[in-house]
Structure formats: C-alpha cells, structure tokens
Homo-oligomer: A and B are copies of this chain.
Amino acid sequence: MIGRLNHVAIVVPDLDQATALYRDTLGASVSAPLDLPAHGVTTVFVELPNTKIELLYPLGDDSPIAKFLAGNPSGGIHHICYEVPDILAARDKLKQ
C-alpha cells in the first residue's frame, strides 16, 4: 500500500540561505519561494532525481512551525510524506 516518498520537509531558519546552499553549492534545481498562508509556511522545493526536499519557513503569526523553529533554532527535519493510493483507507488501516 505504501508508495513513493513524495518529499522530506526541512524547517530552516533562513530560507534564502538554505535555497542558495542547495542551488549554488549543491547544484540542485529549486523552485521560487511560494507563500502558503493557509498552512502558515513559505516553501521552496528542491528537486532531486528521485524525490523532493521541501524547505519550510514560518509565515504569519500563527505558523504551525514557529514552535518547532523556536525549539530547534538551526532548523531540522520536520516530516516526511509518503504517497498512498487511498488516503482514507490508509488512515483506517493505521488506526486498527
């Protein structure tokens, strides 16, 4: 049932600096920053040959990742995202 690793999300304290590291130092293709106000984050996607890295930076006063960054001032890996063919079926199976 479990499918591809869609992305690894990394909270970073400086989005420009983290983007430059992946783009300029490591030579990766990176997206433009994208504000997602409903999620309280600004994201940059780093394209790897087999998956993506999602750089996350807090957006707004109620960002759900602000507390994570307060506890981890250098940032850190926040979550990983697995693909599944049916998310409700996967939820039910994990609840059993």
**A residues touching B (Cβ–Cβ < 8 Å)?**
1-5, 8, 22, 25-28, 48-51, 53, 77, 79-80, 82, 90, 93-94, 96
List residues of chain B with CB within 8 A of the CB of A90. Answer: 26
How far, in Å, is A46 (CB) from chain B's closest CB?
8
Known A3-B48, A4-B48: A25·B80 in contact at CB below 8 Å = no
Total copies of the chain: 2
Report the separation of the CA atoms of residues A51 and B77 in the bound assembly, to the nearest whole angstrom: 17
List residues of chain B with CB within 8 A of the CB of A53. Answer: 5
List residues of chain B with CB within 8 A of the CB of A79. Answer: 77
Report the separation of the CA atoms of residues A26 and B4 in the bound assembly, to the nearest whole angstrom: 12
